[in-house]
Amino acid sequence: MAFNFNHEPVLLKEVIGGLNLKKGSRVIDATVGGAGHSSKILEKLGEKGHLICLDQDKDALKAAGVKLDKIDTKAKVSVWHMNFADIKDVCAGAKVDAILADIGVSSHQIDEPKRGFSYMNEGPLDMRMNQSAKLTASDVVNKYRKEDLARIIKEYGEEGFAKQIADNIVKARPIETTTQLAKICEESVFGKYWKLYGHPAKKTFQAIRIEVNKELEILEKFIHDCVNILKSKGRLAIITFHSLEDRIVKQTFRHLEKECTCPPKMPQCICGHQRTVTVITKKPIIPGQAEQERNPRSTSAKLRILEKI
């Protein structure tokens, strides 16, 4: 089952072009998934190239290894089971030419009921991208205080009915399956919700997934670490799938591009901040209509790219 890891890479041409790859490049795919992007990256590297693949999902790494082994290349391939937050640990002081991070849940993870990511299929409340991690969705749903649940659902899911959903979750405990949780979400919102916002469980499941995997907490630090390990003219490309992630990426890119971060009324610079990057994408790149029709899960994708000075 691990080797049927179906995940269509989004914005593939845009990513490959944006990374500005050359023969002999040293590249990190920080979220290799099913190696959709990495398989195309590998074809560009030549015999002196080196592709380093990271993922915290063991199924993804197995699938990536199988796919990349089939590519006729003399480039070196290294595979690491780790969260992209630890990216600097794979470099041992060496610099790299390009880094890609596709931030989000994969199609395989959504489609596999036992992983517990989907509100459409019954499965255990899991949602761990790293199957070895301790915290699960069940812990969040069944053990968190009502106030903390409401905050998480509101902040991470941008859900207007967060308090009602959290209150009903606490009343219904213990909750064991994804469909039980989805039903509670459905019963917590008003009748027009479906038409206005889509499935009532979508935002809550997103919020719980982000909490379980600490997705937002590590993103800003990850970007800074990437810039530190990039060579001059090296590029970082990040794909996000919801506004919270994209906002962090956009703001962090802007901060790194600024010459000075002092308040505007400050008569002279005292911050000592130096510009370290050029943002290549002044606006995010989004999938074209043809890709969105072919792959509906790409609809919310946004690609931002920077280049180290």
Residue pair 130/150 in contact by the 8 Å Cβ criterion: no
Q: What is the mean pLDDT of the segment spanning 20-36? A: 96
pLDDT at 264: 78
CA 304 to each of CA 37, 83, 251: distance values in angstroms, whole numbers, following the listed order? 15, 20, 11
Contacts of 167 (CB under 8 A, 6+ apart): 146, 150, 188
CA–CA distances in Å: residue 105 to residues 27, 70, 127, 147, 239: 22, 25, 9, 26, 12
- Kindly report the average pLDDT of the chain as a whole number: 94
| Mean pLDDT in residue range 149-168 | 97
Domain edges within the chain: 12-104+216-308, 113-213
pLDDT digits over 269-290, tens only? Answer: 787 778 999 999 999 999 999 9
First to last CA, the chain: 43
pLDDT in tens, 109-124: 898 999 999 999 999 9
pLDDT at 263: 81
pTM: 0.91
What 3-state class would DSSP assign to 88? helix
Round to whole Å and give the CA distance between 39 and 199: 34
- CB under 8 Å to 41, separation ≥6 — which residues? 16, 19, 21, 27, 29, 51, 100
Cα–Cα distance measured from residue 247 to residue 254, given in angstroms and rounded to the nearest whole number: 11
Distance CA(70)–CA(8), nearest Å, equals 18
Q: Is the pLDDT of residue 179 over 70?
A: yes
Quote the pLDDT of residue 104. 80
Alpha helix segments (H runs only) across the chain = 12-18, 36-43, 58-69, 107-111, 137-143, 146-157, 162-172, 178-186, 193-197, 202-213, 219-229, 243-257, 289-294
Q: Are 122 and 177 in contact (CB under 8 A)?
A: yes
What percent of the chain lies above the pLDDT cut of 90?
84
Q: What's the confidence (pLDDT) of residue 2?
A: 42
Residue 101 has pLDDT above 80, yes or no: yes
Beta partners for 256? none
pLDDT tens for 50-90 read 999 999 999 999 999 999 999 988 999 999 999 999 999 99
Domain covering 113-213 in this structure, CATH number: 1.10.150.170
**Element holding 55 (H helix, E strand):** strand 50-55
Q: Which fold has domain 12-104+216-308?
A: Rossmann fold (3.40.50)
Q: Look at residue 77 in the predicted model and tell me its pLDDT.
A: 96
Of 280, 71, 63, 228, nearest in space to 51 by CA: 71
Secondary structure (H, E, C), 228-239:
HHEEEEEEEEEE
pLDDT band at 266 (very low <50, low <70, confident <90, very high): confident
The pLDDT score that the predictor gives to residue 7 is 65
Cβ contact 168:183 at 8 Å? no
Q: Which two tokens stand for residue 84?
A: 């992209």
